[in-house]
Structure 1
Amino acid sequence: MLQKKYISFFLLLLMAATASAQKAERDFIRKGNRFFKDSVYVDAEVNYRKALETNPQSTVSMFNLGNTLAQQNKLQEAMEQYVAATKIEKDKNDLAQIYHNMGVIFQSQKDYGKAVEAYKQSLRNNPKDDETRYNLALSQKMLKDQQQNQQNQDQNKQQQQDQQEDKKDQNKDQQQNKDQQQPPQPQKKDSEMSKENAEQLLNSVMQDEKDVQDKVKKQQVIQGGRLEKDW
């Protein structure tokens, strides 16, 4: 009997705590909404974060916080809140709004491919949203133009590269023609002696020839004269 009373009392405390947390969450969201309406986005962000601290699974707080961050140009943080909300939210209309806002951020960043996918997800959850359908059509057109511009840039870049290659080939051909038209220049051989060396060699030969002639004359004198023996 006491055990049942203890369990009942615990359940009452749990219900009271849950109700208190839910009330605190709603109060923070309301305050955040008032600040958001007055364009006081910093204070709105503070209250939405407090609401998330109270209930980390609150997709309303995530969505509103994402909107507030987007207004402060904190687009990456805003996208993180939207993505987190899509993983929890089950209501199709709420999912449609989340994906729509994701598409708006992608569109503002000129990431039209992702914007198209986000708008398509939004329309899958709410096919009657004309604003989303218009944004989808606009993003599809911008994506097509972006791809066409990129293709043109790639073609222009390729043409410039081809022109540079052609110019290099022309310069190469001109240089080859110029080399063929010039007369061949005589090349100095390694064995070619200098004028000074030639003169030295000639003098040496002449000196050798003189020495030979002197020896011949001397021999002729000795052979033509009379030799006396010294006993």
Structure 2
Amino acid sequence: MTLKYKYILFLLIHLCTVTSVMAQKAERDYIRKGNRLFNDSTFVDAEVNYRKALEVNPKSTVSMYNLGNTLSQQKKVKEAIEQYTEASKIEKDKMKLAHIYHNTGVLFQATKDYKQAVEAYKMSLRNNSKDNETRYNLALAQKLLKDQQQKQNKDKNKKDKDEKNQKDKDKNKDDQNKQNKKDSKDKQEPPKSQKQDNKMSKENAEQLLNSVMQDEKSVQDKVKKQQIMQGGRLEKDW
């Protein structure tokens, strides 16, 4: 390698080193400024500086953790948990991981997601088993989770019972409506046997009428015959 190329390589390495140092300095400056603003409760401005630090170093777990803290102070729970989660994927230091999981558990507990809170506190204790505050929070979250599950089961049983009672009421109502319709129909229409009786009565009336008409014709024929006979006799007697 010639002296010229060695010089160029030296300049490149030096430039990279200088750039890296400047980036680290910028990151630290943003974090420090963000911390001051956070301590002054100027959370929006603190958030801006932590995000600038992440622009310089996207893998800065310190910036992620601090950003999560300032977001939680602004009630941006979902975004804060996302920052803690990303930090937990990168961070290797156990004490820092314990803090990350502890804060995650606090946010889950605040939103009554006790199941997730319990898991977060357990992860925190795996990284720092001596943290009594986390141990207390875990016990509390476990009790709240148990109470929540019992209430959910009670509410579910009540809902199922109410739905069953409503179905029974609806069924009884349908049965009553059907019975009312049947009773109404029975009142409006005579029974089948009565219809048959009516039909038979009509046939009997027709037969009786035919019989009467036949008898009347027979009587008329007899009268007419007698008249002829009598007429004959009168004519003969004359």
Equivalent position of 2:179 in the other structure: none
Equivalent position of 1:187 in the other structure: 191
Identical counterparts, % of pairs: 53
Q: Which moved more, 1:88-97 or 1:109-118?
A: 109-118
Q: Which residue of the other structure, out of 198, 207, 210, is the alignment partner of 2:216?
A: 210
Equivalent position of 1:101 in the other structure: 103
Residue 76 in 1 paired to residue 81 in 2?
no
Give SS of 1:87's match: helix
Counterparts in 2 of 1:223 and 1:116: CA distance versus 1, 3 Å: same
Q: Which residue of the other structure, out of 126, 132, 135, is the alignment partner of 1:133?
A: 135
Q: Within 1, Cα distance between the matches of 2:218 and 2:24?
A: 134
Q: Which residue of the other structure, out of 53, 77, 80, is the alignment partner of 2:55?
A: 53
The structure richer in helix per residue is 2
Equivalent position of 2:182 in the other structure: none
- Unmatched tracts of structure 1, length 5 or more: 176-183, 227-231
Q: Give how far 1:202 is off.
A: 7.7
- Unmatched tracts of structure 2, length 5 or more: 177-185, 233-238
Q: Within 2, Cα distance between the matches of 1:222 and 1:18?
A: 153
Residue 16 in 1 paired to residue 18 in 2?
yes
Amino acid at match of 1:14: C
Q: Give how far 1:75 is off.
A: 0.6
Q: What count of residue pairs does the alignment treat as equivalent?
A: 216
CA RMSD of aligned residues (A): 3.8
Equivalent position of 1:31 in the other structure: 33
Q: Give how far 1:136 is off.
A: 1.1
Counterparts in 2 of 1:219 and 1:79: CA distance versus 1, 3 Å: farther
Q: Give how far 1:154 is off.
A: 4.0
Equivalent position of 1:178 in the other structure: none
Give SS of 1:19's match: helix
Amino acid at match of 2:191: Q
TM-score by length of 1: 0.77
Q: Within 2, Cα distance between the matches of 1:154 and 1:115?
A: 23
Equivalent position of 1:179 in the other structure: none
Amino acid at match of 1:8: F
Counterparts in 2 of 1:217 and 1:91: CA distance versus 1, 3 Å: same
Counterparts in 2 of 1:25 and 1:219: CA distance versus 1, 3 Å: farther
Equivalent position of 2:5 in the other structure: 3
Equivalent position of 1:180 in the other structure: none
Q: Within 1, Cα distance between the matches of 2:40 and 2:203?
A: 107
Equivalent position of 1:150 in the other structure: 152
Amino acid at match of 1:46: V
Q: Give how far 1:216 is off.
A: 5.1
